[in-house]
Amino acid sequence: MLPDEESNKTDNENDGSIDFVAPETEHLQIIKIADCEPVNRPNIIFSDELIPQFELGMTDIRVELTHLVMLQQAAIALLAQAKREVFIMTPDLEHERFDNDAFCEALSAFARSSRYTQTKILIANPQLAIEDGHRVIKLIRRISSLIEIRQLHEHDIEHNQAMLIADSMGLLRCTNRDPWQGSLLPKGTPYAQQMRDYFVECWERADDIKDFRELKI
């Protein structure tokens, strides 16, 4: 090799340029961030004194509820097991039954458990709940995009029932308040579906509530 050629080669090797080396792709991973953190559902209290153990949509029994605590625990048990939708129809949000932390935590956990869940409440007369600062109303104000509430049309109020429908399978009904009485059907099909259809009809006639200040009281 001539001296000039050797000099040119040396200059090219030391010109500061860096050769590109393609990365190894066999170890690359694409990590998808979860949509949301898992929501802890409430623990269900099953006992002979309250309600027997059941699985929503599977246990074919009828449970007669003879006091307030039974009605409270039955509602929480349905909320803890529901996966798709919970529809609640109530005369006035029943302070004794629903205005407590345990129910609100169960309702909140269900509403936040999936982006596909539906939580709807139909109320006949919201006045007492608003005046008393009901916990459910405070909850709805915090997560208004997850829980919908409407006021029953005046023509539906006389036929208003107190019930909770879970996944078109579980049906909880409150038939009396003095004394507190009701019934629970964990596998209530077709009764739960019939009540769901009735709920949807009333929902379509009900007044949409965009802000609680617009509630008719």
Chain segment 190-214, per-residue pLDDT in tens: 999 999 999 999 999 999 876 665 5
Which of 54, 90, 73, 13 shows the shortest CA–CA distance to 188?
54
Q: What is the pLDDT of residue 26?
A: 43
Sign of CA dihedral 187, 191, 196, 199: negative
The backbone torsions φ and ψ at residue 174, rounded to the nearest 5 degrees and listed phi first, read -110, 115
Which of 194, 156, 188, 182 shows the shortest CA–CA distance to 170?
188
The yes-or-no verdict on residue 42 having pLDDT over 60 is yes
Q: What is the pLDDT of residue 49?
A: 82
Question: pLDDT-derived band of residue 19, with 50, 70 and 90 as boundaries?
Answer: low
pLDDT (average), residues 47-59: 93
Q: What is the DSSP string of 152-209?
A: PPHHHHTT--EEEEETTTEEEEEEEETTEEEEEETT-TTHHHHHHHHHHHHHHHSEE-
44 torsion bin: left (phi>0), alpha (psi -120 to 50), beta (else): beta
Which of 173, 165, 174 shows the shortest CA–CA distance to 192?
165
What mean pLDDT is reported for the chain? 84
pLDDT in tens, 86-115: 999 999 999 999 999 999 999 999 999 999
The yes-or-no verdict on residue 4 having pLDDT over 90 is no
Show the tokens assigned to 165.
């429908």
Q: What is the pLDDT of residue 160?
A: 75
pLDDT (average), residues 77-90: 97
Hey, what domains does the chain have and what are their CATH numbers?
59-209 (3.30.870.10)
13-22, 132-141, 154-163, 206-215: least confidently modelled range: 13-22
Q: What is the pLDDT of residue 28?
A: 37
Q: What is the pLDDT of residue 35?
A: 47
Asked whether 69 and 92 are in contact (CB, 8 A), the reply is no
